[in-house]
Structure 1
Amino acid sequence: MQPEDLTPREAWERYVDRRRPESTEHSTKSYHYRLKQFVEWCERQQVERVGDLTGWTFENYETHRAGEDIAPITLRNELKTLRKFVEYLERIEAVDDGLTEKVHVPTVDPSEKSSDVKLATADAEALLEYYREHQFGTRDHALLEILWTVGCRLGAVRALDVRDFHPDDQFLEFVHRPSTGTPLKKKDQGERPVALADTTADAIRGYLADGQRWDVHDDHGRKPLFASRLGRPTANTVRVWTYMATLPCIYAGCPHGRKRDTCEFTERGHASKCPSSRSPHQIRTGSITWQLDAGLPPEVVATRVNASVETIERHYDKATPRERMEHRRRAYVDDLDIHS
């Protein structure tokens, strides 16, 4: 078979397999699902060979996806991935040189590139105050302490082992362990020690000392710091834990006029539907904003959360202009007093 005779599905499978060794599991899944839409559309349009792909094909596909009312950033990401796929097809001589340039990647307004939804500082403080006083050392308490005060990603907190907590020196060590199922997003570049505040370290100590952690190992014989009854939790399980842990009715009355005893949002399978519960990513966004407001230099925050300063400023810092003035610039105003 000549490369141009590959079906879109065959080429898609080969491309994802080629990317797998150099990508994290999360990135590989992203390539898979973003291109899946295009492959299934090609099959419905009876495009049987990648050699038949043209600029008109991509134009029609973009029009089709845009008509499905998806978010602009979603469409942009799908077409960026499609362009990379066509670059691969060019490299293996399955399509004509230059076809990549015919995949249009739309521009997106900067305000649409990331969500403004975050765990607000006031809500985080109220939640942590409640946990410290009423549920000290529970799994939800220790998890929220780490996610808020460190600002790490879901995959990073899921990857932690008991041995990665150093109680005497009060720090967490994030380690890239792909061979045993817990890669970090930036691989070796994601490895780092992160110092902990006393309150966070105390919460982890309490969680480990009070029997709150399931005494289990994962499939590789490792002891996950945050364990489920069956071992290391899936990413979705950790996500559900954070939705449950950030329900506002835990520490105050429901801001949505519901009664906790009868509200379906308090159930595990529905907690994500509560308008005020938050995912790990939304906690991370709030944490980064809070750390910057607290006066930590952007370079320090970037190291703690494992992101570039540019990425933090563009995608994670969700402070309003008023908040930036109050929390980050007000302290310097006295220096401008000409009489000082």
Structure 2
Amino acid sequence: MSDDLEPIAPREAIQMYLDARRDDTTENTREGQLYRLRAFATWCDEEGIENLNELNGRDLYAYRIWRREGNYSDHDEELAPTTLRGDLATLRAFLRFCGDIDAVPQEFFDRVPLPSVNGHEVSDTTLDPERAEAILDYLGEYEYASRTHVIFLLLWHTGCRVGALRALDVGDLDLKGDRPNADGPGIHFVHRPDAGTPLKNKSKSQRWNSLSEYVARVLEAYVDDRRIPVLDEYGRDPLITTEHGRMARTTLRTTLYRITRPCWLGKECPHDEDPETCEYQRAERMSKCPSARSPHDVRSGRLTYYRLNETDRGAVSDRMDASNEILDKHYDRRSERQKAEQRRNLLPDT
């Protein structure tokens, strides 16, 4: 921290910035800036940053990842790059102002990492299917029917959103496949907005997904032996629980960040970090690991798996609760070469 800087709390600086912009912005513009900067203030609260003088370039990168994952949003999806770019552009303007009032170094605003849009509105990260299978193999052998096993297994097996996973109750399971019109084990995603668990597309997101016999056995073992038996604030029986009730979305995301780091599987770190001293070993920093993957990445990895195996597009769309257009745009991570090779297999003489 420079000796020339004057200590100031993030929220105090934000209010000063908005007051300073009254003469050259409309009320609607300031409301949009306030929303985006409140997200930054919330992140500062979570990180324990009480003085803007303490900010560094690594913090700015960490905030970008935090916002990209959809934190401080009303949905479970990653922010589109265009939305993220607007969010970070506002942060850059704010930090330029902070440089003028000696809260951060004068050129610090230039270190805000703006994402490149280039006409695309999708993330380029995903969980490779081979990595997913390796994680499942490990969990199946060493953490069978644990809460972590069930979280990852259901996210991968159903391709559901993290909000849909969190919304599940024990009563939404049909592990014996003995309900009317059932051909085997299944799981029911239900929109319950009045009981704290709305689904992304509301009632349109309601659906039954089939389960394999193996997944049903894991879930049965979890419910019988490993699940913490607790009700949520609405008196419901959540499937994924902690001692305090239904698991929070942030905790579900942290679970994914933790187990998708290569070091968790005992693999060599591709970023030359020592597991004994790596800052990404701390729960609050795991999402910053370049190899960590979000629930969105798991969902895109599952769609890529389906595409590579030429699974019926309609069936995938229904199972993952998304249109073909959305699946193609936001979740399909096949390379152009993989697409070409699949076309070669489908088209004669090519």
Sort the Cα spacing of 1:310 and 1:39 in 2 relative to 1 into closer, same or farther, 3 A: farther
DSSP-derived class of the 1:133 partner: helix
Question: In the TM superposition, what is the alpha-carbon distance from 1:149 to its structure 2 partner?
Answer: 1.6
Distance 1:75 1:252 in 2: 33
Q: Match of 1:44? A: 20
Deviations 1:145-181 (A, max 9, x none): 1111211111111101111111012111000000010
> Residue 225 of structure 1 corresponds to which residue in structure 2?
239
Matched residue, 2:181: none
User: Residue 116 of structure 1: CA displacement?
Assistant: 1.0
Offset at residue 198 of structure 1 (A): 2.6
Distance 2:139 2:124 in 1: 26
Mapping 1:37-186, distance limit 5 Å: 43-47=19-23, 73-74=82-83, 109-111=118-120, 113-169=121-177, 170-186=185-201
Query: Where does 1:1-340 land on structure 2 (aligned, <5 Å)?
Result: 43-47=19-23, 73-74=82-83, 109-111=118-120, 113-169=121-177, 170-209=185-224, 211-256=225-270, 257-326=272-341, 328-329=342-343, 331-332=345-346, 336=348
**Range with greater deviation from structure 2 (266-275 or 143-152):** 266-275
| Deviation, structure 1 residue 267 | 2.8
The one-letter amino acid paired with 2:197 is T
Tell me, yes or no, if the aligned pair for 1:247 and 1:266 is still in contact at 8 Å: no
TM-score, normalization by structure 1:
0.67
What is the CA deviation profile of residues 184-226 of structure 1, one whole-angstrom value per residue up to 9, with x for unaligned ones? 01100110001122332222222212x3211111000111111
- Three-state SS of the structure 2 residue aligned to 1:173 is strand
- Contact conserved, 1:151 with 1:288, CA < 8 A, in 2? yes
Q: Report the Cα distance in structure 2 between the residues aligned to 1:226 and 1:161, rounded to whole angstroms.
A: 8
The 1-side partners of 2:333 and 2:217 are apart by 29
Amino acid at match of 1:173: H
Is the alpha carbon distance of 1:72 and 1:182 closer, same or farther for their aligned partners in structure 2, counting shifts above 3 Å? closer
Distance 1:269 1:108 in 2: 28
For 2:162 and 2:328, the matched residues in 1 are separated by: 20
Give the CA deviation at 1:287.
1.1
* Change beyond 3 A, Cα 1:135–1:76: closer
Task: Tell me the distance in 2 between the aligned counterparts of 1:287 and 1:75.
Answer: 24
Q: Give the alignment's Cα RMSD to 1 decimal.
A: 3.2
Distance in 1 of aligned mates of 2:143 and 2:84: 43
The 2-side partners of 1:136 and 1:74 are apart by 39
% same residue: 35
SS in 1 for 2:208: strand
Q: Which one has a bigger Cα radius of gyration?
A: 1
* TM-score normalised to structure 2 length: 0.65
> Cα distance, 1:260 vs. partner?
3.6
Query: Which residue does 2:71 correspond to in 1?
Result: none
3-state SS of the aligned residue for 1:238?
Answer: helix
CA offset digits 1:62-96 (Å, max 9, x no partner): xxx9xx99896126777xxxxxxxxxxxxxxxxxx
Report SS of the residue matched to 1:194.
strand
C-alpha separation in 2, matches of 1:265 and 1:163: 37
Gaps of 5+ in 1: 1-37, 79-106
Task: Work out the CA distance in 2 between the residues paired with 1:271 and 1:295.
Answer: 34
Tell me if structure 2 keeps the 8 A contact 1:254–1:260.
no
Given residue 150 of structure 2, which amino acid in structure 1 is its aligned partner?
A
Q: Alpha carbons of 1:48 and 1:319: their partners in 2 closer, same or farther (altered >3 Å)?
A: closer
CA deviations 1:22-50 (Å, max 9, x no partner) are xxxxxxxxxxxxxxxx9997643225996
CA contact (8 A) 1:299 1:309 kept: yes
1:129 Cα deviation after fit: 1.1
Query: Cα gap change, 1:72/1:156 in structure 2, threshold over 3 Å: closer, same or farther?
Result: closer
State the partner residue of 1:31.
none
Partner of 2:310: helix, strand, or coil? coil
Mean Cα deviation higher: 250-259 or 40-49? 40-49
SS at match of 1:208: helix
Displacement of 1:289 in angstroms is 1.0
